Amino acid sequence: MMMDKTTLVLGGARSGKSAYAESLLEGAPSLYLATGQALDGEMAERIDRHRRRRGPGWSTLEEPVDLSDALERVLRPDRPVLVDCLTMWISNLMQAGRDVERSLDHLCEVLANPAGPVVLVSNEIGLGLVPEGSLSRRFRDHQGTVNQRVAAICPRVVFVAAGLPLVLKDQ
């Protein structure tokens, strides 16, 4: 278990980033702060699959939009928090018409001096083609900004590909 540093875990879709992030907290009673919403059957199944994989040692808090406020409420030194994932959070903010930059500023304030250990999961989506539509391009741009700003704050950043972690930063 690694819990002395705030950690950002990046990776592509189905890369193993969530499982890797969970493995960092094995053996500790942890809180899973979920940003995903079961808006359809497929997403409900994904959420259920994640819950089964984590097992009973985890408690879960679902917060699709007000992530920073939730983190401020739940972070404490004796319980690590896993945020999964920042990508869904950005999508939720955009769908709700929220100010992404302002929300990101608040998250960075919380992460600059967290009240307890936190691991954050986020997709790296900037390695592919330029999206065709303007909404998709705005989403990609927001996601890239989120990843850069959170990575700058976190002492530890890990990129996961094919289930294999590659440490990008470890201060």
Catalytic residue annotation = 50
Rounded Cα–Cα distance for residues 128 and 51 (Å): 30
Contact 115, 75 (CB under 8 A): yes
Tell me the torsion sign for CA atoms 8, 20, 161, 35.
negative
DSSP strand E in the chain: where? 7-11, 30-34, 58-62, 81-84, 118-123, 156-161, 164-170
